[in-house]
A and B are shown apart, each in its own frame.
Chain A
Amino acid sequence: MATLQVELVAADRKVWSGEASMVLVRTPDGDIGVLPGHQPVLAVLVGGGVSIRTAEGSIEAAVHGGFFSVSDNRVSILAESAELSSEIDVQRAEKAAARARQDGSQDDLDRAETRIRVASL
């Protein structure tokens, strides 16, 4: 079966790249699942989790602000910031969430909560 070439790229580094069988992302209109052979798409992402299903299991990442494109079985997910679930520092994320609640910054709160949720996956 054909596979997808996935690249998860943050503004300052390449976070993950490799082969996958399916990619799940969240757009303003709802979640999209991409399987091999998907037609070319360019979509805006809303902050949240990205799930990449590979042969070895699934890889979860928290992304913020970005978009993704699919063409010829190549999926690029570009985000201003992206963290794999294994890289997330839960304590730091919780601190950030607490700080965001105090400041009343909804955007920061969403980011921190996404990170906490993705880390627990």
Chain B
Amino acid sequence: MGAQLRVYRRRIRSVRATKKITRAMELIAASRIVKAQGRVDAARPYALELRRAVSAAASQTSSVDHPLLASGVESKRAAVLIVTSDRGLAGAYSTNALKEAEALSRLLVEEGGQEVVNYLFGRKALGFYSFRNRPIAGSWTGQTDAPTYEQAREIADALLAAYNTDASEGGVDEIHVVYTRFINMGVQEASVLRILPLEVVAASAEDSAREPLALYDFEPSAEVVLDALLPQYIAQLIYSCLLESAASEHAARRRAMKSATDNAEELIKSLVRAANAARQAEITQEISEIVGGADALSDATAGSE
């Protein structure tokens, strides 16, 4: 067997092995999207009830002057939580989130004159920031494909602690989350959500249009209830961002792995063609060598007579 043919065969074998791997990853990601969507759905009743309660409490505390609600104070420092994945091979998933975060930071710095503090979720963001030696205020890694509520709570506690500190002492006045919205299996979009200061009013307007809120009694008092509710609401917002990003991550990975599998198929096809041509060329050459050899032999015997 010729050297060229052997090289082709080896490459075909290796591309086939890669294709098997990417196909398996595609199937795994596909099944995990369903699970991730299930988790998003499972978290929905809590989100709805919590939102109702927050708007009820906010609409009935006559003077809503809670530090977590929109205050109109000009903000000097803003925190940005960037949600990315731990693992790669998910196409542009993490890159898109990071790009969106860069755009947001530029906007905050140039138009708002704010200082940006970064909180990172996922190893990809951590790698991006530590490679560039940028300061990191906090980071969480290890569970991006199935985030838990405990983790969201931990992040919320860290962000709230920063928010409750004065900006001059290293705190922040605004908190934004950059996450990837899951629109459908084919479309995911990196987007920005400002979680603090909260704008409860917008949420309550659409809710109360559907169903008037009852006049609640508060136990022990409206202020205490609101105090307890808002941090939970923040944690829940972060949790739903994490869940949605996880679903997006799996969808992005599935798509990336699908095109990798398709490309491997294409590559195998063209390699097989080249290998066939090489084999044919080898055979042709052998035949012409034999024919040439036989000719030369018969010429030689004819000449000797």
Contact = CB atoms under 8 A, between A and B. Distances in A.
Answer yes or no: do A and B interact: yes
Interface of A: 7, 9-14, 27-29, 32, 39-44, 65-67, 69, 71-72, 76, 78, 80-81
Interface centre among A7, A12, A29 (most CB of B within 10 A): A12
Contacts of A71: 214, 216
Interface centre among B148, B219, B228, B232 (most CB of A within 10 A): B219
Given A44-B225, A67-B53, A78 B46 contact: yes
Question: Which 7 pairs from chain A and chain B are nearest by CB?
Answer: A43-B219, A40-B214, A71-B214, A11-B149, A42-B216, A13-B42, A40-B216
Given A69-B56, A71-B216, A43 B50 contact: no
Contacts of A12: 39, 42-43, 46, 148-149, 239
A13 B43 contact: yes
B49 A78 contact: yes
B216 A11 contact: no
Nearest to A28: B220
Nearest to B227: A44
B218 interface: yes
Contacts of A76: 49, 53
Contacts, number: 86
Given A11-B149, A40-B215, A76-B53, 8 more contacts: A9-B46, A11-B46, A12-B46, A13-B43, A14-B46, A27-B220, A32-B219, A78-B232
B108 to A, nearest CB: 30
A32 B219 CA distance: 10
B235 A9 contact: no
A41 B219 CA distance: 7
Interface of B (DSSP majority class): helix
B225 to A, nearest CB: 6
B92 interface: no
A69 B152 CA distance: 24
B218 A42 contact: yes
Contacts of A10: 46, 149
A14 B229 CA distance: 19
Given A7-B49, A41-B216, A42-B225, A80 B43 contact: no
9 contacts: A9-B46, A10-B149, A14-B42, A14-B46, A28-B220, A66-B232, A69-B52, A72-B214, A78-B232
B49 A44 contact: no
Contacts of A40: 214-217
B33 interface: no
A9 B152 CA distance: 17
B55 to A, nearest CB: 11
Interface in B235-259: 235-236, 239
Interface string B80-112: 000000000000000000000000000000000
B219 A27 contact: yes
Contacts of B152: 11
B219 to A, nearest CB: 3
A67 B227 CA distance: 11
Nearest to A42: B216
A41 B217 contact: yes
A29 B239 contact: no
A43 to B, nearest CB: 3
Contacts of A28: 220, 224
B40 to A, nearest CB: 10
A11 B219 contact: no
Contacts of B53: 42, 67, 69, 76, 78
A60 B130 CA distance: 48
A69 B228 CA distance: 13
A67 B42 contact: no
Contact of A44 (B42, B215, B228, B239): B228
B303 interface: no
A69 B42 contact: no
Nearest to A41: B217
B234 interface: no
